[in-house]
Chain A
Amino acid sequence: MKKLLIALCTIGIAYAHHSMEGFDRAKNVTLVGTVKQFKWANPHSWIELEVTNDKGAVETWNIEMTAPFVLVKAGWKSTSLKPGDKVTVVGHPQKTGEPGALFVSVTTAEGQTLTDRPPGAPAPPAAK
């Protein structure tokens, strides 16, 4: 159990090369939107997601991801997301309320869910 906890902690900070203080890791935000761009790049990949807010306006969210070599182990390809894809993204929101989040998972219109963990890896700790 102790080993598992250490592993979870390790995964939790996996492949961030800088401070992640700006994200509220205790919270999850669920975003239903359209992929504007999916960038497959070192040192971090990211998703630009267009989301219609409560007032009917379209906001562009930046979803910060880990490095592609980690995503490959989790089953990703550079073609996993394309502009125009309708997706649901879960992420840890920015503490400031700005439209940005740290990636947790994405579910495609076809119902496929991708995270940044290899298949079979322990699920991330539930957000409080």
Chain B
Amino acid sequence: MLKRFSITATAFLVGSPGLWAQAPSAPAPAEPAQLGALAPANIAKPRPKPPFDITGTWLHAMARDNPFNFSPPPGFKLTPEAQVQYDAAKKARAEGKAYHDDIGQCWPAGLPVIMTRVWPIAMIQKPTVIFMVSGFMNSTRIIYLDGRKHTDPDIIIPSFNGESIGHWEGDSLVVDTIGFVEDHHWIDNGIPASDKLHVVERMSLLGDGATLQIEYTMSDPKNWVGEWKWTKRWKRVDDTDITEASCLPDLNAHMPSVTSTTTNIH
């Protein structure tokens, strides 16, 4: 009996170093299961040196071979539900009308479209995370680099930019994004995004680091068959900063492009 008590007491004390050293004061708080990306203890963890630092201000490099939009690739096949939307948008365009111009109505652009607006994006890289803040509506993307996994699908909170987890592969950063909203989110005119959208981005800095290239692979089984791929480029713009830009109802009230009831199909 005495022996069993002795073993139990030893195990308790060894398993509670805080109590052993500081008794009778309160035990030290346990480290949370997942430290915040900006927690000093997380940032300080040893990690391999990343191959590049994306920190800077970037602007989509519009060109004929690098368009803003993410148009469906040749031979694309939509699901029947998405085809209805695509055909309706095509008809609206032929009539000179805007089909579900949700961005104009202040809905967030969402990934991937937010990346290719005509506004610069401020990107800030820490060892554990990259923050991307678009000059347009100051939409924020957070790419976690601290080794965490995607949030449990049962508790992930849907968003327009999704939940992005990145890891380094050679000279590239591979970013996996899921957890999107179902509504008011579009890939292109008449191409909806769903909660099953899955975006993989392979990010690389080219040449002297003045060009950011992202190779996109996207699937959304609710809306199209297979994977769609695009490669887009951004240029570093060291002579500019992002500013506050909020889409507001009272400003929109003076914008004929979004107030006209006869040329906007909602």
**Residues in A lying within 8 Å of B, measured CB to CB:** 6, 10, 13-24, 39, 41-44, 46, 48, 62, 64, 67, 69, 94-96, 98, 100-102
Contacts and interface: CB of A to CB of B under 8 A. Distances in A.
Contact of A100 (B97, B117, B118, B260): B260
B259 to A, nearest CB: 8
A126 B33 CA distance: 63
Contact of A17 (B63, B92, B98, B119): B119
A62 B246 contact: no
Contacts of A101: 256
A64 B136 contact: no
A69 B189 CA distance: 27
Nearest to B262: A96
Contact of A6 (B63, B93, B101, B104): B63
Interface residues of B, number: 35
B101 A19 contact: yes
A46 B93 CA distance: 25
B154 interface: no
Interface stretch (B124-132, B174-182, B247-255): B247-255
A43 B96 contact: no
Nearest to B103: A18
A69 B263 contact: no
B255 A41 contact: no
A104 B96 CA distance: 20
Nearest to A97: B262
